[in-house]
Structure formats: C-alpha cells, structure tokens
C-alpha cells in the first residue's frame, strides 16, 4: 500500500514537472512577491523551530525553498475553496511534528533515500487524509530532498491563510507547548492591542527555559528566561 501511494505521488510529481501541461510547476518557480508570502517571510526569516525541528540554519535558503511550495499549495487550495481544510491539515501536521520524534528525524535525515522519505511521507499523508494539493506538494518535496523545510512550509501557509482571512499572525515560541486555554488567552490579549483577530502560530524551543517570545510583523516581545540570562551575562561582562 505504501509503495502504491508513493507511485501515485510520483505520478503527480511528473505532472508538476511539465510546465506546458501544468501551471502548478510555474507557480512553484515564481519569485514570492505576494503580500501573504512577504508576511510569511517575516515569520521565518530569522529561523525558527516547529515541533522541535531545528530549522534555524540557512534560514534564507530554506525560506526561498519553502515559499515556492507554499505558494503553489495555497493557490490551489484557495481556488478550490478548501483553505479551511488546508488549515486543519496544517494543524494536524504541526501536532505530528511536535509529538513524533520519528517524523522529525525522518524529514531531517541525510541518510534516507528519496524513495524512502517519499514512501514514508506518502503513508503519513494518506493516514492523515491530507488534501491532494498538500499531498502532491509533500511528494515533490520528498523527491527533491526538501522535506527538511516542512516546518517553514507550515509557517508560510499558516501566515498566508491568516492574511487571507484578515487576521494578524503572531509567532509565539515557548519552552513547552501552550495549552489551548493559554493560546486562547494570549490571542485575546493580543487582539486588544492590535484591534484585529490574532492567529497564534505556536512553536516550541526548549532552550528558552521559560517564558515566551512573541513576534508580530516587525515587533517582538521577549520574556524568555534565556533572554534575561543573556542580558544578565552581558551586564556581568561590563562590570568585569
């Protein structure tokens, strides 16, 4: 079953690889210039962690890669009026990345072959009932050895969906996963400040030790213990 799913994904990829027959490929290779994509860039440009997958290294390269895939998936979902379904899929993927160390290891593995990564991703996508546009995008990413940008793809798509809905996206990084009550309370607090609905894009970075880092556009609030320790360390250096 896994092999058959992977073959189907490969057939979808082959369709994508012919620009004259499929406009999706052209969309994936256009420069990301839409407002939604530029907003997504603000969320991932400095590097981030989703589900504890470290993607802070070559952030600018990863951003460019993820942007092309995100643009194609988003536009297909929007044209088919299935953005709500895509948003649900992204939530499921984020949860899977957070809870499964095997999944995090698989997408970042330099050892697994393209076929092995593709087969594994196809099986996961089928089990999670991901929408076709997202399944095909993930299949192409696996074939091109680009699954390592999956966290950034998710961040891009979440930001683009929020922008389309007229919401403000807030990237929130915490030392441990926020509960629903905490996330809802934070969204309400931020809404009071900006006057718009705020979509929380929560990620985990255990190195923060405690507290939060909240980023909305160019504004950032850092209340993490790590930041306070860094500041204290700088003061001690000046004193010494």
Do 53 and 151 have their domain in common?
A: yes
Q: Which of 115, 144, 166 is the last residue of a domain?
A: 166
Do 162 and 178 have their domain in common?
A: no
Residue 77 pLDDT more than 90? yes
What are residue 6's phi and psi, to 5 degrees? -65, -40
Do 212 and 93 have their domain in common?
A: no
Adjacent-strand bridge partners of 171: 201, 215
Do 60 and 127 have their domain in common?
A: yes
Do 28 and 84 have their domain in common?
A: yes
For the segment 2-30, the average pLDDT, to the nearest whole number, is: 40
Task: Give the pLDDT confidence score for residue 98 in this predicted structure.
Answer: 83
Q: Of the segments 1-5, 29-33, 88-92, 190-194, which one has the largest average pLDDT value?
A: 88-92
pLDDT confidence bin for 209, thresholds 50/70/90: confident
Do 162 and 173 have their domain in common?
A: no
Residue 91 pLDDT more than 80? yes
Q: Which of 166, 200, 222 is the last residue of a domain?
A: 166
- Look up the CATH number of the domain holding residue 177: 3.40.30
Q: How far is CA 59 from CA 52, 55, 201, in A?
A: 16, 7, 18
Do 98 and 183 have their domain in common?
A: no
Give tens-digit pLDDT for 109-125.
999 999 999 999 999 99
Q: Which residue range(s) make up the domain with 231? A: 167-240
| Residue 174 tokens, joined | 């915490």
Do 190 and 120 have their domain in common?
A: no
Number of domains in the chain: 2
Q: Which of 147, 166, 185 is the last residue of a domain?
A: 166
């Amino acid at each position: 079953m896994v092999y058959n799913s992977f073959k189907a994904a490969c057939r979808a990829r082959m369709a994508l690889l012919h620009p004259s027959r499929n406009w999706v490929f052209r969309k994936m290779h256009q420069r990301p210039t839409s407002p939604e994509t530029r907003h997504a860039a603000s969320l991932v440009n400095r590097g981030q962690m989703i589900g504890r997958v470290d993607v802070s290294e070559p952030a600018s390269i990863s951003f460019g890669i993820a942007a092309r895939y995100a643009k194609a998936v988003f536009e297909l979902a929007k044209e088919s009026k299935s953005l709500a379904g895509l948003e649900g899929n992204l939530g499921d993927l984020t949860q899977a990345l957070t809870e499964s160390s095997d999944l995090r290891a698989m997408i970042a593995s330099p050892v697994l072959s393209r076929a092995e990564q593709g087969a594994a991703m196809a099986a996961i996508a089928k089990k999670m009932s991901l929408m076709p546009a997202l399944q095909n995008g993930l299949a192409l990413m696996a074939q091109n050895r680009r699954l390592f940008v999956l966290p950034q793809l998710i961040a891009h798509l979440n930001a683009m969906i929020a922008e389309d809905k007229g919401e403000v996206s807030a990237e929130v990084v915490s030392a441990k996963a926020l509960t629903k009550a905490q996330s809802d309370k934070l969204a309400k607090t931020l809404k009071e400040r900006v006057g718009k609905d705020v979509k929380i894009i929560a990620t985990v970075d255990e190195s923060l030790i405690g507290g939060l880092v909240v980023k909305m556009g160019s504004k950032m609030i850092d209340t993490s213990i790590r930041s306070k320790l860094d500041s204290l360390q700088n003061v001690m250096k000046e004193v010494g």
